[in-house]
Amino acid sequence: MVQTIKELLSTATGTEGSLLIEKKIYDTLIDPVVRTRVGRAHAAITVTDIPGSSVDIDTVDPKSMKVNKISEGAAVLMSSEAYSSFNMKPLKYGLRIAITKEMMEDGKWDLLAHNIEQAGLFMAYNEDKLLIADALDNATNTQGGGAALTISDITRAMQYLEDEDYTPDVMFVGATVCNDLRNIDTFVEANKLGSREMLENGMIGTIFGMKIIRFSTNSAPSTTYGLYAYIIDSKQAYVVAEKRPVTIEKYDDKIHDLEGAVVTQRVKYRQLRADAICRITTT
């Protein structure tokens, strides 16, 4: 005879398994991993007091003054500095958060506050992308490497800066280049380096006097940037102009019954002296 009444309940049964068995809901919202940051920490100049929509940056041209050999009784030749200027106009970036009132009322967490916190992080990640695309990528010199970064790639890139009297003091590295550094024996073997820093921390703090900073591939313009590194003189390399810092404005949308926030920023990154930057590319 065909049974018409279920006589057995089990956890494998759809309705019973999902509704009748007590479940523990973990009471902490798990945030995504925070990406490694670069940002404006190593900017030569950060301009924030901008009365209009843009700012002019005036610079002295290197090697513009010349000392001449003068014959006895001859006129002393004139020589003076030359000057250049460029304009920076901060652009607006931002995002809008909208959450239904029902979700705000029924949610287990303060979703608006959490979304605003994450928005702040993503605005910072956007700054890293601007730094790379609008400043570092405008380097005068590029050192082409092979399938992996070598010591000679690093030292040649440093020489490009030193040829123009800059002092390379910071090296930004993508994830693939960072892996190459970890596989260079000179930086790994304690008897050569005199330190176990690479073995213990996974990264050397300084190489040839330069501070090493890994940037996130996910904050770069594309995944290709994992293959790149940038050597800079941080006192001369890039400038930041910020008309509006990261600003959060909450709002209520009465018509659609929403709560939300608008997060905006007006900022611009640019190279200060392009020959104070050298990009290293690997394949």
Q: List the domains of the chain with CATH numbers.
A: 45-60+80-281 (3.90.1690.10)
pLDDT at residue 164 tops 70:
yes
Query: If pLDDT is split at 50, 70 and 90, which confidence band does 189 have?
Result: low
Question: pLDDT tens digits, residue range 257-266?
Answer: 989 999 999 9
pLDDT at residue 23 tops 60:
no
SS3 of the chain: the string is CCCCCCCCCCCCCHHHHHHCCCCCCCCCCCCCCCCCCCCCCCCCEEECCCCCCCEEEEEECCCCCCCCCCCCCCCCCCCCCCEEEEEECCEEEEEEEEEEHHHHHHCCCCHHHHHHHHHHHHHHHHHHHHHHHHCHHHCCEEEECCCCCCHHHHHHHHHHHHCCCCCCCEEEECHHHHHHHHCCHHHHCHHHHCCCHHHHHCCCCEECCEEEEECCHHHCCCHHHHHEEEEECCCCCEEEEEEEEEEEEEEEECCCCEEEEEEEEEEEEEECCHHHEEEEECC
Strand-pairing partners, residue 244, are 266
Tally Cβ neighbours within 10 Å of residue 144: 11
Looking at residue 104, its pLDDT comes to: 85
What percent of the chain is modeled with pLDDT above 70?
A: 83
Looking at residue 8, its pLDDT comes to: 57
pLDDT averaged over every residue in the chain: 87
Looking at residue 185, its pLDDT comes to: 82
Instruction: Give the torsion sign (CA, 122, 100, 106, 20).
Output: negative
Looking at residue 71, its pLDDT comes to: 94
209-215: average pLDDT? 92
Q: How far apart are the first and last CA of the chain?
A: 72
pLDDT at residue 73 tops 70:
yes
pLDDT at residue 172 tops 90:
yes
Question: pLDDT tens digits, residue range 221-252?
Answer: 999 999 999 999 999 999 999 999 999 999 99
What percent of the chain is modeled with pLDDT above 90?
A: 65
Which amino acid makes up residue 244? R
Tally Cβ neighbours within 10 Å of residue 252: 11
3-23: average pLDDT? 57
Query: If pLDDT is split at 50, 70 and 90, which confidence band does 37 have?
Result: confident
159 or 182: which leads in pLDDT:
159
CB 279 within 8 A of CB 229: yes
CB 253 within 8 A of CB 73: no
The label of the residue with tokens 């404006």 reads 40
